[in-house]
A and B are shown apart, each in its own frame.
Chain A
Amino acid sequence: MNNRGEPEVDQHQGSDQLMTRRRYRRLLLYLFLSISIVSVAPLVIMTWANYHQYEEAFHTEQLRPIVRFTSNAKHSLEFFLKERLSALSLVVNETSLKDLSDQKRLNRLLRHMKNAFGGFIDLGLVDADGRQVSYAGPYKLQDKNYKEHDWFHEVSRNGVSISDVFLGYRKLPHFVIAVRHDVPDSESYVIRATIDTELINRQILGLQLQPSSEAFIVNRKGVLQTPSRGFGDVLEICTLTVPPYSHGAEVMEILDEKGKPLIVGYAYIESSPFILMLVAYKGEMQGSWLSLRRELAIFLSISVVLILGVVFLGSKYMVKRLREADMKRAEIMHNMEYTSRMAVIGRLAAGVAHEINNPLAIINEKAGLLDDLFSMSEEAPPKGKVLKTISSIINSVDRCSKITRRLLRFAKHMDVHQEQINVNLLLEEVVSFLEKEAHYRGIQVTFQIPENLPTIESDRGQLQQVFLNIVNNAFAAVEEGGQVEISAEETENKRLAVSIADNGSGIPEENLSHIFEPFFTTAKGHGTGLGLSITYGIVNKLGGEIHVKSQVGEGTNFTVIMPVKTNLS
């Protein structure tokens, strides 16, 4: 109780309706997690989806130029080779064997071809046995036999040949192109030329690749035909594996020997042993993608942090407000219960005051009579009469003290505590409060309670309030001479059912579902409409149930079902 005698709301006490601090923390956690998940998950999913889309698009955009480059380079190289082969073909087809065998003529041809096409180092006429019968060029290769050379075998077989790159006499890389000329009814002969790879190198360099990228040529055995910055020198085995054959330009993604990811565009140069390789380091090409990815990550991180922050603060605020509302509701409920109890006590007090007046009036008259008898008469009154009068006064005093004791007993049970309660005695006590009214209005109150009814463990004061309220309502409902029947029985599941039935006016069906609502009343202008609502609240708090059945014109039956043991904590 506080200083005004009102019950204080214990802010930290748990109940069915007031959650403990731990439960509020749990609620905060659930709220935070659920809202966070709902808010953040779509963002993360969208970002993830966008990330993959961007990555895919970026990846495609990375590969496309490489394929294009490779394809363009392939065509350039093929044209280069085809041009020189065509030149050689023209020479071999348009120049007679006699002219080709002529040294001076051959030198002149070589000079023209050098001027026209570039890249030609020497020119030679090779007979069907592989012997170079005529040679124009810087080396002494006259009469050299190429019978065992691959290019000779190839040209003998196919009519044209482009050889692998090899180091010549000056240890410079070059390759041979050869064209066979068939003479009807005579032996065929071959015109061969050595081509300097420098032109090819310059063509490759002219591709204008990224600084981190490079292009080079390997043969079908993986031997480098042109120099490479990162994969070996000319005529060394390239550290990259030979790609599979493809008609057009292709691209593949592999790892170098150090495990770094590479994008390799490649193309097989037609009618040659060459494979053009265009290599780029994936990581170095991904500058803008990595930048975008970083921005996405930053955006996502900031968004998530902001969302989580707002959700957390919002959840905390909501839980705080909820807790305040719960506290307020509990306080209001407490105050309502207190007010209701005070109202009941007020009614009881009024009833008690009225009840006490009669014995007080009797004492007043009896004592007054004694006074009159002694003061208004010369003779003393008879002893018997005096004693009888005094006895009557004492009886009235007893009657008064019984009445005040009853009220005090009710007021005593203001604090909540659990105890074993004999329901029969409790109900009799409750009815005794209304004894006088029952007497004056001729209301018959009957009890149908078995003797072996188990006691229940609950709060006496609150239970008293519940039954007093219901019995009061029953009295209000019945006419003069009406009946109120109170019965109790044990039900299954360790519960006790107490029924209070009257033969009053009854409650219309449309009102039945509302009677436990706060402020609902059919007694216009009378009552606050809180009585049954508070009763309902108290019964629920004590772990019980309250039901009502009614028939207009026949009466109403309230049944309160209580557990044998109430958990008040």
Chain B
Amino acid sequence: MKPLSVLIVDDEEELVAPLIERLKLRGIDAHGMTTGQEALKCLATSMFDVVLLDVKMPGLSGLQILKEIKDNLPNLQVIMLTGHGSEQDAQEGLDLGAFDYLTKPVKIDALIQVLKKAAGRDAEETK
């Protein structure tokens, strides 16, 4: 089975790099982008199962990126990543079509569970 592919979009490089490494150690094909523009360019050319998207981003905000994704790739599931104090934005994200949201700092196991659920892999694994 093809490994789950995840695109992580967060402006904190220091956060994205270790997360990618940890996910890779767990067999997930994780990639990272630090700006919304780069993320959208990447999504236009590559296929991903899930996008892990930070709500607060400079330039193009997380919600704006979400909207773009939903407009162009409606089947692509997005999980919002929010810090405390941005729950309202995360809820708005859900209204815009995000699959779920997680609050930083995230437990790796909880993250993987949500990623699999979003990609529809959890049912397959249960089988």
Enumerate chain A interface residues (CB-CB to B < 8 A).
Answer: 350-351, 353-355, 357-358, 360-366, 368-369, 372-373, 376, 389, 392, 396, 436, 439-442
Contact = CB atoms under 8 A, between A and B. Distances in A.
B15 A353 contact: no
A440 B85 contact: no
A357 B22 contact: no
B25 A389 contact: no
B61 to A, nearest CB: 7
Given A362-B15, A440-B58, A440-B61, A351 B104 contact: no
B84 A358 contact: no
Contacts of A372: 21-22, 25, 108
Nearest to A375: B25
Contact of B18 (A357, A358, A360, A365): A365
Given A350-B85, A442-B58, 12 more contacts: A350-B84, A354-B56, A357-B83, A361-B12, A362-B14, A362-B18, A364-B104, A365-B105, A368-B18, A368-B108, A396-B14, A439-B58
Contacts of A363: 105
B94 interface: no
B28 interface: no
19 contacts: A351-B85, A353-B83, A360-B104, A361-B83, A362-B12, A362-B14, A362-B15, A362-B18, A364-B104, A364-B106, A365-B22, A368-B18, A369-B21, A369-B22, A372-B21, A372-B22, A440-B56, A440-B58, A440-B61
Interface of B: 12, 14-15, 18-19, 21-22, 25, 56-59, 61, 83-86, 103-106, 108
B22 A368 contact: yes
A268 B49 CA distance: 144
Contact of B15 (A365, A373, A436, A441): A365
Contacts of B104: 357-358, 360-361, 364
Contacts of A396: 14
Q: Which of A358, A366, A376 has the most CB of B within 10 A?
A: A358
A507 to B, nearest CB: 26
A365 B18 CA distance: 6
B15 A358 contact: yes
Closest 5 CB pairs of A and B: A357-B83, A364-B105, A361-B104, A365-B18, A361-B105
B105 A354 contact: no
Contacts of B14: 362, 366, 392, 396
Given A361-B105, A362-B15, A396-B14, A354 B57 contact: no
Contacts of A355: 83
Contacts of A439: 58
B28 to A, nearest CB: 12
Nearest to A369: B18
Contact of B105 (A357, A441, A442): A357
B58 A361 contact: no
A396 B21 CA distance: 18
Contacts of A392: 14
A365 B19 contact: yes
Contacts of A366: 14, 18
A360 B15 CA distance: 9
A252 to B, nearest CB: 106
B83 A358 contact: yes
A362 B85 CA distance: 18
Contacts of A351: 85
A360 B103 CA distance: 11
A396 B83 CA distance: 15
B18 to A, nearest CB: 4
Given A361-B106, A364-B105, A369-B22, A354 B84 contact: yes
A441 B64 CA distance: 13
A361 B15 contact: yes
Contacts of B108: 368, 372
Given A354-B83, A354-B85, A357-B105, A442 B59 contact: yes
Given A366-B18, A392-B14, A396-B14, A357 B84 contact: yes
A350 B108 CA distance: 25
Contacts of B61: 440
Q: Which of A350, A389, A392, A440 has the most CB of B within 10 A?
A: A440
Contacts of B86: 354
Nearest to B19: A365
A363 B106 CA distance: 11
B119 to A, nearest CB: 21
B79 to A, nearest CB: 15
Contacts of B59: 442
Contacts of B12: 358, 361-362
A439 B11 CA distance: 11
Contacts of B103: 357
A450 to B, nearest CB: 31
B26 to A, nearest CB: 8
Q: Which of A365, A376, A389 has the most CB of B within 10 A?
A: A365
B111 to A, nearest CB: 10
A541 B59 CA distance: 40
A369 B24 CA distance: 11
Contacts of A350: 84-85
B107 to A, nearest CB: 8
A34 to B, nearest CB: 58
Contacts of B22: 365, 368-369, 372
A337 B25 CA distance: 53
Contacts of A358: 12, 15, 83, 104
Contacts of A376: 25
B57 to A, nearest CB: 7
Contacts of A369: 18, 21-22
A394 to B, nearest CB: 12
A355 to B, nearest CB: 8
A414 B86 CA distance: 27
B106 to A, nearest CB: 7
Nearest to B59: A442
A350 B59 CA distance: 21
A355 B12 CA distance: 11
